[in-house]
Structure 1
Amino acid sequence: MYPSISAFIGWRYLRGRSGDRFSRFVSYISTAGITIGVMSLVTVLSVMNGFESQLKHRILGVLPQAVVSLTNGDTPMKSSPPSFVSELSSAHPPQPIVRGEAVIQSASELTVGMMIGVEPKDNDPIQQYIMAGRLSTLTPGSYRVFIGQTLARNLNVSIGDKLRLMVTSASQFTPFGMIPRQRLFTVAGIYNTGSDVDGQLIVTNMQDAASLMRLKKGTISGWRLFFKDPFVVSELSKQSLPEGWSWSDWRSQRGQLFQAVGMEKSMMGLMLGLIVAVAAFNIVSALIMVVMEKQSEVAILKTQGMTNRQVLGIFMVQGASSGTIGALVGGALGIALALNLNTVLQSMGVSLFALGGQLPISINPLQIFAVIVLAIVLSFLATLFPAYRASSVKPAEALRYE
């Protein structure tokens, strides 16, 4: 049943005897510490992954993920994009886009936002977030816009109301001085992504946006690229483009946000990882106590012919088994808690979000596997010193007063 005598004795020591209550208590506390640490780490990382995934899809799914344009800004509008642009866009074919910053004014409020002009299509990323209106109503010359729910609430407007858009980059000289280009637009629809994009982004027809920004006829701001994973821009941006072409992506607008989320996830992982490390070091104290209690037994085993390596294996099996059990049980409990975390919080009467919102949960199997393996490795390393002390016991000295 056991591959070696060391494993057999090590497992017996792990279970303990009726007289070794304190040693068993310390051993159980060490196992429980690793279990709680791994469970907490798996649960917190799953929640942080959920937040990161939600931000990725809701924010980067609507904002232009990357735009390739001529360096001088006057990108010619053609029936099809250049071949190298098509090769960069992996999720959907590139689409022409006109974008710029605009001042948005309603009858009662004034704010600033980002305006993008698109060609209305059914596969546009914003389509799945539309609450009211149809994207097909953004026809050329209609001067209609889609705005986020947050922006509509801040400006106190609804569908059918008028908004004045002013573009300072297209200011023109008049007898009264420099006046920004402006025009009235009609609110044709409202979208809701559940992120801060709802308070900043406005979407209109590409030709209407180009007219407002006074772009030359037949020119656009660039070609909009689409990716299955928006984070690939960090690698794609390193590729060389043909002379005269430039690259810009979402990191210039939302890079700091995702860096903050990534740093927070790393710090949470580090702090909870320290809990696992402390629990693993508890194994050291538990094994040292066991070694001190078992000196006479170790000496007897050595007189029976057991080698130092076999004695070393006994206490490594004992300590590593405690860590392995704690890591596996903690991983299973962490997955179970993460999957039912919203139900648990609801049963406790804890409301983290308004309007019945829930914590986003995203379980990464590879990440959980790495956490469990790390906990097992730490437990194994914690057994080396006590096991070495046990293997160095000299039978004559240990049995001197027996």
Structure 2
Amino acid sequence: MRLSVIGCGYLGAVHAAAMASIGHDVVGIDTDAEKIAALSRGEAPFFEPGLSELLAEGVASGRLSFTTDIAAAAGARVHFVGVGTPQQQSGHAADLTHVHAAFDSLLPHLHAGDVVAGKSTVPVGTAATLTDAVAATGATLVWNPEFLREGWAVQDTIDPDRLVAGVPTGPAGVQAAEVLREVYHPAVAKGTPFIVTDYATAELVKVAANAFLATKISFINAMAEIAEVTGADVTQLADAIGHDVRIGRRFLGAGIGFGGGCLPKDIRAFAARAEELGRGESVTFLREVDAINLRRRDRAVQLVIDGLGGSVFGKRVAVLGAAFKPHSDDVRDSPALDAAVRLHGLGAEVVVTDPQAIENARRMHPQLTYVAERDETLRGADAVLLVTEWDEYRRELSPEHAASLTRGRVIVDGRNSYDAATWRAAGWTYLGMGRP
């Protein structure tokens, strides 16, 4: 099937490459000429495991192309719209400027029988405002939310755990759902749940999923706050309650909290939309979820201060990680960078390292010092702060090796990744998040 993908950022580029890899003829369209040039060469403009190989293969096969010309969408059977919906600068609501611009530019190139599949994360009710304009062209609008995890996005696109299609009532909606089943044929054929629903439900599925994950993470971090004043160990607490099948252990890792371009802005936008709908009280808890998350960053910084005797001024602090999570170079709302910037503001000499995110971090916070090599970052440090769980930090760094490089012996484990007893036995002052 011929497909177009409008918006070739993180979501769109991955989706275009993945769709080409399962046999579709795909054109990706974006207004950023530099990004399109890189993608046309088969080069990923950001780090995502497996994406570069998929892009190179798709471009070489001729099934995947990229352009800045929206007219190239004409003739595609399905048009995926995956542009960004950042947080508004003036508030917490989602900024739909890119969504409306994408639809406005696409409308003149639609034909009867086309399917327009919205993939952007939008406030509930957005699809209803767009459907008439799409229907006037003879095309049908569906809402097909994405559920990608950065670091596993290629796998999640090709082999998703569920597919959701919000469609209009009537024959046009039924037919559009069948077209999407064809698009995702390999996943559908292996039995992946394909859930057909109305627009509002499809829009809510995405934000509700993110809100639930954020709530689970902040719940265990709230327990970490209690553990810190009672002497309890939040890691053992999480293990114990995680054995309850109704709760589960995943996403109960206490630490410095979540970040990235999705969870923080999505829960804020969800709360803002609920207020607009007159149901703000229904998601009031999300305000506290956000607040707990931000407090854990404060706590990580305070642990560094405590470990260094009450002041970081003039002390060298090695920060292991800049991306908001491993297997990504995304530094949007990164707890790692937030902590590094705060320590710098308190007078510390902050040295940050990351396997993939240094250049993105440097563009955002040029005042910090960045070093590519882990060991060079550790050299001469008075304290070490682990913030991003790359394997070379959490699995491949021994306390003995670290001690051979650093000046001090203070380790703040912002992800509770290390065995406290092992580091303490090696002479380190180990400080975890919610651990005695």
TM-score range, shorter chain: under 0.3
Q: As a proportion of its length, which structure holds more helix?
A: 1
> Which has the greater radius of gyration?
1
- State TM-score, norm by structure 2: 0.24
| Bigger relative contact order (CA 8 A; separation at least 6) | 1
TM norm structure 1: 0.26
Judging by fraction of residues, say which structure has more strand.
1
